[in-house]
Chains A and B, each alone.
Chain A
Amino acid sequence: MAKASVYMNEPLHKAGSDRSSDRRPMPDEAMETRNDDVLISLFQSGDQGVFRVLVERYQERIRNLLFSIFHETETIDDLAQEVFIKAYEGLGRFRFESSFYTWLYRIAVNRARDELRKRKVRRFFSFHGLDGSTEKEVTERTTVQPVSIDEQELVAKGLEALPEKYRMPVILKDLDGLSYEEISEVLECEVGTVKSRLSRGRTMLRNILAPLLRESGQ
Chain B
Amino acid sequence: MTATTSARIREVRRPGAANRRPGTPTALRWELRKLAAQARARYTLLGSLLAPVLLVLVLDGQQRPPKDNIYGRHIHDSGYAMPLLVLGFAAQWVFPLLTALVAGDIFASEDQHGTWKTVLTRSVSRTQIFWAKTVASVLFALSVLLLLAASTITASSLIVGRQSLVGLTGQLLPSHAALPLVLASWATAIAPLIGFTAVAVLLSVVSRNPAVGVVGPVVIGLVMQLAGSLGGLDAVRHLLLTTPFESWHGLLTEDRFSGPLIDGLLVSAGWTVVCLAVAYAVLRRRDITGG
A and B assemble together: no
